[in-house]
Amino acid sequence: MNGEGILPQEGAIIILRDIAKSYWRETLEIPVLHGIDLEIPRGGYYALMGPSGSGKTTLLNLIAGIDRPTGGTLQVCGFELNDLDDDELAGWRNQFVGFIFQNYNLVPVLNAFENVELPLLLSGLSRRERREKVEHALELVNLTDRMLNYPRQLSGGQEQRVAVARAIVTDPELLVADEPTGALDSKNAEEVLQLMERLNQDLGKTIVIVTHDPKAAHHARHQIHLEKGLLDKTIEVNR
Amino acid sequence: MAILLLVLAPFLAYLLWLVWALLAYPIPISYNLRSLWQRKVTTLTTAAAIAMVVGIFVVVLSLAQGLSVAFVSSGREDQALVLRPNARFELNSAIERDRIRILQVHPLLARDAQGPICSAEVVVVKLFPMADGSDSNVTIRGLEARGLAMRPQIRLLEGRWFRPGLSEVVVPRKMQGRFSGLELGRSIRMGGRAWEIVGVFEAGGSSFESEIFSDVNDVMQAFKRNSYSSLLARLDSAERLPEFTRAVDEDKRLKLEAVGERAYFKELTKAGDPIRVLGNLITFILTTAAVFAAMNTMFAAVASRTKEIGTLRAIGFRQREILASFQWEAIILCGAGGSLGSVLALFANGIQTGTTSFDTFSDVSFAFTITPELMLQGVAFSLVMGLLGGFLPAWRASRIPLTEAMKG
Amino acid sequence: MKWIAFVLKSMRRSKLRTLLILGTMTFGVLVVALLLSLLTTLDSVANNPNSTNRIVVRHKSGLTQVLPRSYEAYLKQQPEVETVCGLQWFGGFYQDPGNFFANFASDEETLFQVFREEFGASGITEEQLKEYIRDGSGCIVGKALADKFGWKVGDTVPLTGTIFPISPRLTIRVIFRSPKPSDENVLHFHTKLLEEGVPRMKGRVGTYFVRTKSPDDIPRLIERVDRNFANSASETLSETENSFNLSFVKMLGNISVLLQGISLVVLVALIFVAFSTMAMAIRERTTEISVFRALGFTAQRVMGLVILEGLVLTGAGGALGLGLTWLLAAVLRPVMGSIFPFFQDFNVQTGTMLLCMGGALAVGLLSTFMPAYEAVRKPITEGLKTL
């Protein structure tokens, strides 16, 4: 799988080799990432940082398998993503990746329970099994009492916690989050960050987040800095 | 009438206000036009749907009108038709020769150099093959030369009028397309003899365009009738009509009945009732559907422009100006569809068709005539749809709280 | 099931829009179903299974001409013929010329044999029958007609003639039931009454209804009858009863072309409206669709859900429209029936319902497919950006 001949680090869950990505605007090629090599170990908590346009969100999208690189290979959760077609990739995301978005992206017509249940609808689970998993996930984010509320009846922090529950309900190995605290005030942001830290430490989830927020980045154990589409430096966070 | 006015008053007041609003505080119409153009697909599909509904509306209207024209334009105010009591239609009626003779010299008839102006006539129906292969009953009218002159809408287009005693007929131009073998110079068979077609006429869309004319005595002989069907009588003026009908109705020797020619044909328009009832029903239901569709489009337009509305409000436009602006946008949208629909309806213009009167069992031809008036009615109709469909969305647009709108 | 539940929840997103598109579909389907029902009703007039054994013999020149009574004997002699009934359209009215219904002077002895199917359901007793045959000024009326005017057996019905200068006073002897409403809106009285009252009808009748022993005999019989009277003073036109009825339907003119045309235009308009609404609705959900796909829903699955939502919506609209049509049919039946008698049998047939439902679902499919395809073709990352 590692065509470049470089041996992966023991237990690496994400292995990027010479990843490049460009966008086209009409006939103009806009390069975003140039040859990125990166390995993230299982159970890691990494923050991708960098100024606007440095390519951090693009890198996250590639890792999460919602975008494809223009060059290079990437292996995530044991799968060579370039080898999967769109449908296989969708199934892979459902099984291995949990998403947390800046704007929560809950479905407004579904209540908290139904929103969390959404990814499970794709599984062959029975209604009762789904219910158990959803309740368990909501318990983890401490929102059992808000189960029947609709998104508009929840605060921003609660909405994001529902989104976290939706991300973990399928028990994925990898959680990706794009500015998860971007829309929250500091108190709610802190709550969500602590929750994610717990998921990393207690459940061993590998987490990759993109953030501007130094506080959020501080919760991660490693910070990867990008600059103009290139890896700048990786810093281990000391606590 | 008063109640209708009361119901319409707020409607008209609103309309006047809209026009005034357009002139007084202009959120420019070009803003609406550009907004419509922004959502091309939605605008075009909605306008197209409204165009189809308006097209159907205009066609149905023209159908109903075509039928009315066929009958109403047939009658003259100062003429009366004498029939057997309760016969209701010429076809059912029978009048013996001696009574016709009494009527022909009736003192109330108008006179000219040739004497009293009246025409004793006979009406029979005959099955004729149509161009499409089926058969239809056609009215054959036997009349006196005077009868032609008494119907001023009749005009000879080709050939000449029939002459008595020679088994000659004249046929209406309109029937030639729908029935086979009615060309000038050909002959048709009826009542056991051949009749030569010596002329072609038109009659201004009236019901005579569904009849074949010949000499009254020839027709009576051929069809072995010894009684007439009716007598058409000209009076000095329309005011003499009640006097004449009363005189005939009360004459014990005659035992006949007289009706105004116009009233008689009005009764005949009932032949178009099934089509009219159905047409109105369809138009009504379709209008409801179209108003819903327009409303839907406008609500979507309002929803997608919440921020814009907020900006307009922030700049200083008031709620009522927002209301007027969106209302006008709906009217423009529907009006465009309506204009297109009215134009599309022109495709139906001139199509000849026919139906059968169930009272007389005979064919009535008429044409779809899409007049400018009908097209204008179609456009007006679409504007009303815009008014109805646009009001609620425009109202909602004007009620969006400024804060909400700015949040975006 | 979980998907249907999901789609139903999804439809609450914009209740107003859901209601409006539902309304548009409902009324659109209502129009189409109504028109198609009228068409099938007209079709069924000429396809009456009860009529297959009967032929109608009339004057070649048209309905207003009459045939000699002497033809009856000839017809009865034919080996294929079971029995013959002379029928003359009387065209009278009760009280007001607007009270239109079918009334005939008919041969009282053979009427019940020739129209066995129509009277079969009536449960007329031998006694009632004898009473009618005995009373020369008696009449029989259908149940629907009797109900309309509140007539009972024994009542006197004055009928005003329009075609004929007589106005008989008839006594109701039998009120019969019939399987079809149009057959129940009929009055029959004795031929003799007409012949005695109107000299020119003496020994004459408008039409002969001939009951044959087998439908197979009909073509041969028709041919022989018409040939026999060819070149006589009163030539005949014989045809099956269905074809005779068809000539009345044809009298409406090319109404069926018009009905079909309008149905088609309405269908196209519905597709347009549905398409624009669905396109709008789906465009507004671009982000959500991308979120779904990020969560692991495949493109086909998302498309399937969106299309399913369209189908549920248009299907519900179709069902509502058909329900309304069914209700409206009950109201419309007497109204249309009083103008054109055959519309008394107006109803919404299963075939029409299936066709309309199919049409509604097709609208749902056609209107959602393109927008849904467009939405899933967009890269997920792009969709997530449109906030």
HSE of B18, CA atoms in CB hemisphere, 13 A: 23
With beta carbons under 8 A apart, name residues in chain C contacting A103: 387
Average pLDDT in the B331-354 region?
A: 86
DSSP 3-state of A96: helix
Average pLDDT in the C166-173 region?
A: 92
Q: Which of A79, A76, A96 minimizes the C-alpha distance to A167?
A: A96
Cβ atoms < 10 Å from Cβ of A203: 12
Average pLDDT in the C337-350 region?
A: 76
pLDDT (tens digit per residue) in B244-257: 999 988 888 888 88
Percent over 90 (pLDDT), chain A: 66
Q: What is the pLDDT of residue A159?
A: 93
pLDDT (tens digit per residue) in B155-187: 999 999 999 999 999 999 888 888 888 899 999
pLDDT (tens digit per residue) in A106-129: 988 889 999 999 999 888 889 999
Average pLDDT in the B30-56 region?
A: 86
Cβ atoms < 10 Å from Cβ of B211: 25
More confident residue, C234 or C85: C85
More confident residue, A83 or B8: A83
Chain A touching partners, 3 or more CB pairs below 8 A: C
Whether chain C has a CB inside 8 Å of the CB on B134: the answer is: yes
More confident residue, C298 or B363: C298
Q: Is the pLDDT of residue A177 over 90?
A: yes
Burial letters for C153-163: b for 16+ Cβ neighbours within 10 Å, e otherwise?
eeeebebbbbb
- Are chains B and A in contact at 3+ CB pairs closer than 8 Å? no
Chain length of chain B = 408
Phi, psi of C363 (to 5 degrees): -60, -45
DSSP 3-state of B5: helix
Q: Which one of C162, C201, C271, C333 makes the best mutation probe of the B interface by having the most chain B beta carbons within 10 Å?
A: C162
Would you call C293 and A119 a contact, using CB atoms and an 8 Å cutoff?
A: no
Fold of the domain spanning A43-68+91-236: Rossmann fold (3.40.50)
Q: What is the pLDDT of residue C49?
A: 79
Q: Which one of A62, A67, A92, A109 makes the best mutation probe of the C interface by having the most chain C beta carbons within 10 Å?
A: A109
Least CB–CB distance from C27: residue in B91, B127, B285: B285
Would you call C296 and A110 a contact, using CB atoms and an 8 Å cutoff?
A: no
DSSP-H helix ranges across C152-240 = 181-184, 191-197, 218-229
Q: Is the pLDDT of residue A5 over 50?
A: no
Question: What residue type is C271 in one-letter code?
Answer: I
Angle C32-C38-C44 from CA coordinates, rounded to 5°: 135
Q: Is the pLDDT of residue C43 over 70?
A: yes
DSSP 3-state of A29: strand
Residues 6+ apart with CB under 8 A from B368: B59, B62, B63, B66, B348, B349, B350, B351, B353
Q: What is the pLDDT of residue A235?
A: 86
- How many A×C Cβ pairs under 8 Å? 68
Chain B touching partners, 3 or more CB pairs below 8 A: C
Question: From the CA of C365, how many Å to the nearest CA of chain A?
Answer: 23
Q: What is the pLDDT of residue B354?
A: 64
HSE of B188, CA atoms in CB hemisphere, 13 A: 26
Question: From the CA of C315, how many Å to the nearest CA of chain A?
Answer: 21
Q: Which of B318, B326, B319 minimizes the C-alpha distance to B301?
A: B326
Cβ atoms < 10 Å from Cβ of C198: 17
**Cα–Cα dist B137/B214, whole Å:** 17
Question: From the CA of C9, how many Å to the nearest CA of chain A?
Answer: 6
Percent over 70 (pLDDT), chain A: 95
Percent over 90 (pLDDT), chain B: 24
Whether chain C has a CB inside 8 Å of the CB on B306: the answer is: no
Q: Is the pLDDT of residue A2 over 60?
A: no
Average pLDDT in the B291-313 region?
A: 84
Ramachandran sector of residue A137 (left: φ over 0; alpha: ψ -120 to 50; beta: rest):
alpha
Cβ atoms < 10 Å from Cβ of A61: 23
Q: Is the pLDDT of residue A170 over 80?
A: yes
Q: How confident is the model at residue A193 (pLDDT cuts 50, 70, 90)?
A: very high
Q: What is the pLDDT of residue C245?
A: 83
With beta carbons under 8 A apart, name residues in chain C contacting B55: 265
Q: Which two tokens stand for residue B25?
A: 């505080």
Q: What is the pLDDT of residue A1?
A: 38
pLDDT (tens digit per residue) in A53-78: 888 999 999 999 989 999 999 999 99
Q: What is the DSSP string of C139-163?
A: EEEEHHHHHHHT--TT-EEE-B-SS
Whether chain C has a CB inside 8 Å of the CB on B86: the answer is: yes
DSSP state of C24: H
Question: What residue type is A140 in one-letter code?
Answer: L
Q: How confident is the model at residue B70 (pLDDT cuts 50, 70, 90)?
A: low
Q: Could you tell me what percentage of chain B is helix, strand and coil, using 3-state DSSP and rounding each to the nearest 5? A: 55, 20, 20
Question: From the CA of A175, how many Å to the nearest CA of chain C?
Answer: 12
With beta carbons under 8 A apart, name residues in chain C contacting B58: none
Q: Is the pLDDT of residue C386 over 60?
A: no
Orientation angle between helical segments A156-168 and A186-202, nearest 10 degrees: 20
Judged on CB neighbours under 10 Å (0-12, 13-18, 19+), C166 is middle
Tokens 């075509």, residue?
B66
Q: Is the pLDDT of residue B262 over 70?
A: yes
**Cα–Cα dist B173/B181, whole Å:** 12
Q: Among the ranges A134-143, B201-210, C139-148, C267-276, which has the highest mean pLDDT value? A: A134-143
Question: C103 near C90, Cβ under 8 Å?
Answer: yes
**Cα–Cα dist C142/C188, whole Å:** 9
- Any idea which of A48-62, B69-83, B381-395, C67-81 has the lowest mean pLDDT? B69-83
DSSP 3-state of B292: helix
Q: What is the dihedral of CA B309, B313, B319, B323, to 10 degrees?
A: -30
Task: Give the nearest chain B residue to C336 (CA atoms).
Answer: B274
Would you call B277 and C270 a contact, using CB atoms and an 8 Å cutoff?
A: no
Task: Give the nearest chain B residue to C90 (CA atoms).
Answer: B92
Would you call C295 and A166 a contact, using CB atoms and an 8 Å cutoff?
A: yes
Question: C20 near B293, Cβ under 8 Å?
Answer: yes
Q: Which one of A105, A166, A178 makes the best mutation probe of the C interface by having the most chain C beta carbons within 10 Å?
A: A105
Sign of the C-alpha dihedral, residues C94, C98, C99, C104? positive
**Cα–Cα dist B279/B59, whole Å:** 9
Q: Among the ranges A161-170, B147-156, B362-371, which has the highest mean pLDDT value? A: A161-170
ipTM of model over 0.90: no
Question: From the CA of C12, how many Å to the nearest CA of chain A?
Answer: 6
Q: Is the pLDDT of residue B362 over 80?
A: no
Residues 6+ apart with CB under 8 A from B302: B309, B326, B393, B394, B396, B397, B400
Burial letters for C108-131: b for 16+ Cβ neighbours within 10 Å, e otherwise?
bebbbebbebbbeebebeeebbee
Q: Is the pLDDT of residue A149 over 90?
A: yes
- Assessment of whether the complete model's pTM goes beyond 0.80: no
Q: Is the pLDDT of residue B319 over 90?
A: no
Q: Is the pLDDT of residue C5 over 90?
A: no
Q: How confident is the model at residue B89 (pLDDT cuts 50, 70, 90)?
A: confident
Q: Is the pLDDT of residue C279 over 90?
A: no
Percent over 70 (pLDDT), chain C: 96
Average pLDDT in the A145-168 region?
A: 93
Q: What is the pLDDT of residue B2?
A: 73
